[in-house]
Amino acid sequence: MVVTITPSTVEERVVVTAETPLLDRRDTGTSTVLTQAEITQIPTARDPWAVLSTIPGIMTDRTNVGGNEAGQQSNYVGKGDNGTMSTWVMDGVEFTDNAAKGATSTYLDFNSFEEIGFVSGGADVDQSTPGLRMNYVTKQGSNRHTGTMRMIFADADLQEDIPTPANPEWVVDAGGDENYSGDGINEVFEKNFDIGGPILKDKLWYWGGYTQNDIDFDKAGSSDTTKLQNLGLKVHGQANGGRTNYKVFYSMGDKVKAGRGASTTRPPATT
């Protein structure tokens, strides 16, 4: 007896392996993208300019320690850019300040970012200037209701006064106690929350967030205070089976500043 066995299917596999090149000759630009996990988990001051100082090829003019400079815009330079040719973009809309070249027209809610992208060279042709491009993508809702709430606090008791022998900067107050008269943090207190979720599942979603940041900085015995408030609201949806997408986004940034320029030769009344 002869039994003939025939295969039901014939399957062929082709496996191609190749080494990843150290240099991609098709990519002529330089860019850095930070995800939400990197934004929230890497220890840094919660400020766009503090993050900017970590980007290769970019140098800023100040160091944000514990949030003491979070209410001020840093000057910076990049590849072939002295800071006046930069563009700021949020959710595809440019908001560069027309009155101050290269600066932003508002302060930003650091808690609202889903992703931050920095293009420091070889930008696309749709960019209007040759300088640095900062692209901020804000959070949005999904089919699940989610939210976060955070408070960050620092005050003078959490830092050490370290006068140097060459510049001791010790003063004696009215009570006869010695105090350090150098710059330092009186208080930094940030409060924020956000929430997002579905309005119509698979069709329409919402997101909203609010942040308030109070910064009190001691400048040679004078108080330099900044109060930042940011509100963001977003509604986005899709129609025609996902072929049509739409988005409505509202952003409000408010800053109140007192004591700017205070120093040993400029008392608070003159700031």
Helix, strand, coil percentages in the chain from 3-state DSSP, rounded to 5: 10, 45, 50
Is-above-0.85 flag for pTM?
Answer: no
Kindly give the confidence (pLDDT) of every residue in the chain, 271 residues in length, as a single tens digit, with 9 standing for 90 and above: 677 777 667 777 888 777 766 666 666 668 888 888 888 887 778 888 888 888 888 888 888 887 888 888 888 888 878 878 888 999 888 888 888 888 888 888 888 999 998 888 776 777 777 888 889 999 999 999 999 999 999 888 887 765 554 545 555 554 555 555 557 788 999 999 999 999 999 999 999 999 999 999 887 667 888 999 999 999 999 988 878 999 999 999 999 988 887 777 777 778 7
Question: Residue 67: which of 179, 184, 231 has the closest Cα?
Answer: 184
